[in-house]
Structure 1
């Protein structure tokens, strides 16, 4: 299976002098095409920093990150932005939407920047995605007129507009109630089944249990890993127990 991301001995520090802190301490990681990966760890363990590094949002102080066969350090900010827009999908705990635009316009905005000629085609794809995630009727709503779960679904639509090779999610269910979180994870599972790789940062064992490989971080290092078989709907409780047991073993 081809590797979509290779991170070698990644180092990231914050602060200077006596206040310098190493947040990523020589982290090495590989993600294959079509994989469903979770990263878990306590606050300050470096899990979100790792996601920002792998997606090119933040630079690193040491090591190497290769995405889709290309060393990210070879690109400037504009080129990195283009890579994220065309080959990656990014989903955060609180979707960043413009209040001046409705749901549909927020979804299509990144896809039509600098090229409004394709707006009809882009809008058609957005409507297809809205239907897929179950909120087709909300396309003309303002962002303040939908629930948190509905807004996160819109964020997923926006992330899928470019048919990305990988989706990065930083606590994408963290602000949702349990029902909405379960529904969002159902959508992620469907996306992954279609062949898109997904990497989720989460503190929730129920979320991690829906993935197939879980990386555990402490003090800026990946200290353990748990592999799970493809999800069978009837075995979720056993999987949650397995994840929870591993968290206790690791000390999370």
Structure 2
């Protein structure tokens, strides 16, 4: 069994609307393992993104504990949590959230300077290498509005990786992309995981979920089932998707 990189204990998240309250996360226990590609699935409104944000410290929880590499992080101050996210976590969302008046390269550089792990020269070198790895090097001097959605998302992945994160969080990273760009982005995430990158991804897409080696199913604020798979193999893609589909059908997804 791989080492636990992130752990949630009895995580509870409640949203209030006037006098009414909704318990979105209901005492969830969850472990994310080092070098795994873990996927969270479930029906709409199950709390998938809320769980992701709660584990990453972007949302405050109402009860329970979150530990990163054995360290309690759910009680950190806002400043301490921001520092931890900058130094240890990477984030990729459905929308790229690239700064519109900065080039792709500048967007990646800004994120690298925030982490302050390397010198400015090393950050620039790593940013260029990442953009090359993400196959958007030729577009590095363009603004986000001047590139395709797929190119923008690949640049966003480069931005997320610039600080060498211990854990990469991805929330519906292909949700706004066409089929061709979806495949490219999933290929990049798969390659990163093969290189040892730990990934936690929320998705509603069967093909995206099939890239993971562990899929957790969230429903009614609880993790109610999970599926373990071998590392992704392109040669067995269709068989893998059928296996995931059958598992989801059994859960009435």
Answer whether TM exceeds 0.5 for this pair. Answer: yes
Work out the number of aligned pairs and report it.
251
User: What CA distance in whole angstroms lies between the structure 2 residues aligned with 1:73 and 1:204?
Assistant: 30
1:166 is aligned to 167
* Distance apart, 1:18 and its partner CA: 4.3
What are the Cα deviations for residues 186-231 of structure 1, in whole angstroms up to 9, with x where unaligned?
Answer: 1111111111100110000111111100001111111110111112
User: What CA distance in whole angstroms lies between the structure 2 residues aligned with 1:99 and 1:204?
Assistant: 28
User: What CA distance in whole angstroms lies between the structure 2 residues aligned with 1:53 and 1:154?
Assistant: 25
* Distance apart, 1:123 and its partner CA: 1.1
Superposed structure 1 runs of 4+ greater than 4 Å apart: none
1:5 is aligned to 6
1:202 aligns with 2:203: yes
Q: Does the CA-based 8 Å contact 2:86-2:115 persist in structure 1?
A: no
* Structure-2-length-normalised TM-score: 0.96
* Distance apart, 1:146 and its partner CA: 0.5
User: What CA distance in whole angstroms lies between the structure 2 residues aligned with 1:40 and 1:95?
Assistant: 21
* Distance apart, 1:17 and its partner CA: 6.2
User: What CA distance in whole angstroms lies between the structure 1 residues aligned with 2:199 and 2:109?
Assistant: 21
2:92 is aligned to 91
User: 1:113/1:21 Cα in 2 relative to 1: closer, same or farther (>3 Å)?
Assistant: same
User: What CA distance in whole angstroms lies between the structure 1 residues aligned with 2:130 and 2:76?
Assistant: 31
* Distance apart, 1:74 and its partner CA: 3.0
* Distance apart, 1:110 and its partner CA: 2.1
User: What CA distance in whole angstroms lies between the structure 2 residues aligned with 1:131 and 1:18?
Assistant: 52
What are the Cα deviations for residues 122-159 of structure 1, in whole angstroms up to 9, with x where unaligned?
Answer: 11110000011111111110110011110000010011
Task: Name the SS for the 2:176 alignment partner.
Answer: coil
Q: Does the CA-based 8 Å contact 2:111-2:163 persist in structure 1?
A: no
Gaps of 5+ in 1: none
- CA RMSD, Structure 1 to Structure 2 (Å): 1.4
What are the Cα deviations for residues 154-185 of structure 1, in whole angstroms up to 9, with x where unaligned?
Answer: 01001111111110000001101111111111
User: 1:168/1:235 Cα in 2 relative to 1: closer, same or farther (>3 Å)?
Assistant: same
Alignment of 1:7-156 (within 5 A): 7-16=8-17, 18-113=19-114, 118-156=119-157
Gaps of 5+ in 2: none
What are the Cα deviations for residues 45-102 of structure 1, in whole angstroms up to 9, with x where unaligned?
Answer: 0110000011010110111110122111231111111111111110000011111111
Q: Does the CA-based 8 Å contact 2:12-2:24 persist in structure 1?
A: yes
User: What CA distance in whole angstroms lies between the structure 2 residues aligned with 1:113 and 1:202?
Assistant: 28
